[in-house]
Amino acid sequence: MSRLKPLLQERSFWLLWTLRRPLAAQHHWYDLEIASASMPQWRRRLAGHIETGRPSMSDPAIGRAVAG
């Protein structure tokens, strides 16, 4: 699910955004990409695991090709 949030056209900004989405089906792994509409060449990608203190499994996406 992609969500875009427009930001003010300023040189610096702070953005605090909470996206609530159940991650149990992905075994608590997430993959988030942040992009800029005004600077299409700027992108950041964050991926990781939410620790729950319970036994877990390896990232199910390891070994798969990444699109883009």
Domain with 35 in it? 23-52
Helix (H, G, I), strand (E, B) or coil at 68: coil
Query: How far does CA 46 lie from the centroid of its chain?
Result: 5
Q: What are phi and psi of 48, to 5 degrees?
A: 180, -165
Residue 35 lies in a domain: yes
Q: What is the DSSP letter of 7?
A: -
Residue 59 lies in a domain: no
pLDDT value at residue 39: 81
Residue 46 lies in a domain: yes
Mean pLDDT by 10 residues, the chain (68 residues): 55 62 82 82 86 85 69
Positive or negative, the CA dihedral 9, 20, 54, 49 is negative
Q: What are phi and psi of 10, to 5 degrees?
A: -130, 165
